[in-house]
Structure 1
Amino acid sequence: MVLSFALAVAPVTSADAAGSVGWEHPGFDAEDSYYNPAESAVNAATIDGLTQRWSVKLRDSDASCGGFMPPIVAGGRVIATDELGISAYQAFTGTPAWRFNWDDPMDSDAAVMAVSGNTLVAADGDCNSNSDPDGRLLALDLSTGKVRWQLESDMPIHSVVVDKGMVVISGESPSDETATTGYRVSDGKQVWKRVDFIGSAVSADGRTLATNGNTTSALSVTTGALLWTKPGVWQAQAATPDAARFLVTNGTAMSAVNATSGAVMWTAKGKASESVATDGRRVYRTEDQTVDALTASTGRPLWSRRLPTPAGQPVRAGGLLYTGGPVLSPTTGAILTQATPLAGRQIPTGGRLYILNDGELSSFAP
């Protein structure tokens, strides 16, 4: 399949650069911590007085099988998937910067994106084959949207990690081998491959977890080397911001695992969740309408809050805990502000709060 692009390039202004602290991975950093320690302008004192600065309707298509993934913020751009491809906007104004179009939106799933330097890495796949699905991996120039390299994968891509100048993908299907593979971001060249290993989308300072049968191993992102192996099947949901511990689940419990040795530091039964954030002091998780916090050092429960609507991915920034709806105090769980009009996927960075809700991307600021 050939990928095409259409450009409408706008220059990066000084105002854009000032707001380019960034949100370069799906979970802010390669650790997927969902914790932005640099945000200070959007805080408890300003959250109730935010003003909408701009809003754009993302491109849609009735024929598309793609969708809208949470945006990436980097290099003065806000970059979002849409139902035709990928679109970049000036972070401070919402002015279109560039667009990349899938050649066949009817057979292109929504892309997972991350940034490495001045390169945007995007991974997606086809969506019309259950028996033999394929994946696609490409690199775009962050400033212009021009294709730097692209490749197709015989296996679907189930997880993506971008760290240390590498992109690591993993996947499996009934007709393809199970594998985790590392490529250089600079040129797309394959560096290593581990057959029969299925990975997760978290890196702790260059270590990523992958399962093989009934064991879990830490692999080097740069070389694929086995760093340690432990019994049990663990799915990494996040790592602490200092990359010292993985937060893993096994279907019934959450555990904190030493990233260097694989030693289990604590286990919290009944706390498995795919929606996890951590600021290094506390671990936040959501399940249905409940948000709760655990002590990061011991796993001890701290507080629990039931929301009026289902909770989304928790995010920590500016002394606030975002839940996809109401904004809470991270220390007590008290509701600081109701959701409207802030409901949706919430990305706080660069003095702005970006919201993706039902195909509309908006920017709010004090």
Structure 2
Amino acid sequence: MRARTLAAVLSLTLAVAPATPAHAVALPAWDHPGYDAEDSYYNPHETAINLGTIAGLTRRWSVPLRKRPGGACAGFSKPLVAGGRVIVTDQLGIGAYLPLTGAPAWRFTWPDPLDTETPYLAADGSTLIAATSGCNSQSDPDGIIFAVDLTTGRLRWRADPDVPVYSLAVDKGMAVIAGVSPSDEQAVIAYRVADGRVAWQKPGYDSSGVSANGRLLVTNARSTSAVSIISGVPLWTKKAVWRAEAATPASDRFLVTNGESLSAVSAAFGALLWTAPAAASTLLATDGRRVYRAAGNTVEALNAANGRRLWSRSLPKEAGQPVRAGGLLYVGGPILSPATGAVLRPTTAGPSIVTGGRLYTANQGILSSYGT
């Protein structure tokens, strides 16, 4: 394991269109894939885009993302909004754009686009973490972690774990990855966001990208433990194999799966609160009152307190990741009522994040912003 500063090694294209102070002010963020470190996919602060204004939503700007002739391993990620930038990956690296206009702020280019997978992204303060893996070796792929300044796009540090990166959790100044390969034992490794130094590691364990206010679930073949994301110290252990798919916005419960069922587990003590049989899914969102689950063409809402089904809706096409914001439920197609599942709008632009009065999508190499 090694962490080092390699700013001179990477090819960077910076300040294609420098930000003005007006564009650089702090804007409402969506700085993790699922809005927050809990991956709740719930933005409680959105007020501009709601049932009364969604009909007037129009495209404000679109920009094409960089493509490599002949293709590349890396592709196009869902956008983040952090540090006054809209962040998205492309086939060459990472691009940052100004939220109001879509003008490029900076671009960061992979050292080898032909040997870099699409990364996991998350921001911590002024630092963007991009955790990825090589794609050319099947037997011994390695991981790569880049820490990038959100304002300038300059590299702050780089780490090269021996394991490929299969998950990333960023919270409390820590970036935690997990991975395994035919040549490398499964491991969970925690890096300090400030300098890239390894803070702790757990060989033989797996984890996911969900942190409940600094509590992280790690698993082996026999048990699940909640550990401090800062120190790795175990807080509780249960003889069950659970994978955290989300946590509630209040960070009091993990939503976990075991391959078959969906369960709610106390984040503080590990107590099993309820189980919904045959409801395992990676496409979850929760606002603390309901748990929204997508599987195939079906979206349903469960009571977050007891797991009972509140409503179920069949869609014409396969549902996407549920997103809850502004009193609306986005499912990658129709917009639904969170309370009843009723269709409020027949369609939206696609997989979305909604923050600061803007809806952002990255579809087929085009980054777009919609506003009222």
Match of 2:107 in 1: 99
CA contact (8 A) 2:254 2:264 kept: yes
Post-superposition Cα deviations, 1:81-124, rounded to whole Å, max 9, x if no partner, equal 00000000001100000000012111111111111110111101
Cα offset, 1:138, TM superposition: 1.1
Task: Report the Cα distance in structure 2 between the residues aligned to 1:201 and 1:328, rounded to whole angstroms.
Answer: 27
1:23 aligns with 2:30: yes
Report the equivalent of 2:145. 137
Cα displacement string for residues 337-362 of structure 1 (whole angstroms, at most 9, x for unaligned residues)? 122xx332201000101112111110
Which position in structure 1 is the counterpart of 2:42? Answer: 35
Unaligned residue ranges in structure 2 (runs of 5+): 1-5
Q: 1:318 aligns with which of 300, 304, 326?
A: 326
TM-score normalized by the length of structure 1: 0.97
Query: In structure 2, what residue type is equivalent to 1:354?
Result: Y
Asked if structure 2 preserves the Cα contact closer than 8 Å seen for 1:312 and 1:324, the reply is: yes
Written as runs of structure 1 = structure 2, the 5 A alignment for 1:240-255 is 240-255=248-263
Task: State which of 47, 51, 55 in structure 1 corresponds to 2:58.
Answer: 51
| Map 1:211-360 → 2, pairs under 5 A | 211-339=219-347, 342-360=348-366
Q: Which moved more, 1:9-18 or 1:181-190?
A: 9-18
Q: Which residue of 1 aligns with 2:3?
A: none
Contact 2:295 2:319 in 1 (8 A): yes
- Residue 12 of structure 1 contacts residue 90 of structure 1 at CA under 8 Å; is this kept in 2? no
**Cα drift, residue 48 of structure 1:** 1.3
Corresponding residue for 1:60? 67
- Matching of residues 83-162 of structure 1 within 5 Å: 83-162=91-170
1:364 is aligned to 370
The residue correspondences of 1:173-212 to structure 2 (distance < 5 A) are 173-212=181-220
Q: 1 CA distance for matches of 2:217 and 2:369?
A: 35
DSSP-derived class of the 1:48 partner: helix
Contact 2:208 2:244 in 1 (8 A): yes
RMSD: 1.2
Deviation at 1:129, TM superposition (A): 1.2
Equivalent residue of 1:345, what SS? coil
Query: Which amino acid in the other structure matches residue 177 of structure 1?
Result: E
Contact map agreement 1:289 1:306 (CA 8 A) in 2: yes
Give the secondary-structure state (helix, strand or coil) at the position aligned to 2:236: strand
- CA displacement at 1:242 relative to structure 2: 0.3
Letter in 2 for 1:362: S
Q: CA deviation at 1:4?
A: 2.3
Distance in 2, Cα, partners of 1:6 & 1:303:
49
Contact 2:59 2:368 in 1 (8 A): yes
More off after superposition, 57-66 vs 215-224:
57-66
- Provide, for residues 18-60 of structure 1, a one-character-per-residue CA deviation record: whole Å limited to 9, x for no partner: 6x11100000000000000000000011111101110011111
CA distance, structure 1, for counterparts of residue 365 and residue 241 of structure 2: 36
Matched residue type, 2:90: D
Q: 1:317 is matched by which residue type in structure 2?
A: A
For residue 16 of structure 1, report the CA deviation from its aligned partner.
Answer: 5.3
- Count the aligned residue pairs: 363
Unaligned runs of 5+ in 1: none
Equivalent-residue separation in structure 2 for 1:319 and 1:102 (angstroms): 39
Partner SS, residue 153 of structure 2? coil
Quick one: distance in 2 between partners of 1:344 and 1:82? 18
Once the two structures are TM-superposed, the CA of residue 12 in structure 1 deviates from its matched residue by 4.7
| Stretches (4+) displaced over 3 A | none
State how far apart, in whole Å, the 1-side matches of 2:335 and 2:71 are.
36
| Equivalent residue, structure 1, for 2:11 | 4
Identity, % of aligned positions: 57
Q: Distance in 1 between matches of 2:369 and 2:95?
A: 15
Task: Give me the whole-angstrom Cα distance separating, in 2, the residues matched to 1:16 and 1:148.
Answer: 20
Distance in 2, matches of 1:15 and 1:96, equals: 11
The question of whether the paired residues in 2 share the 8 Å contact of 1:88 and 1:98 is answered with yes
3-state SS of the aligned residue for 2:25?
helix
**Aligned partner of 2:49: which letter?**
V
Q: Is the 8 A contact 1:12 1:76 kept in 2?
A: no
Shift of 1:216: 0.7
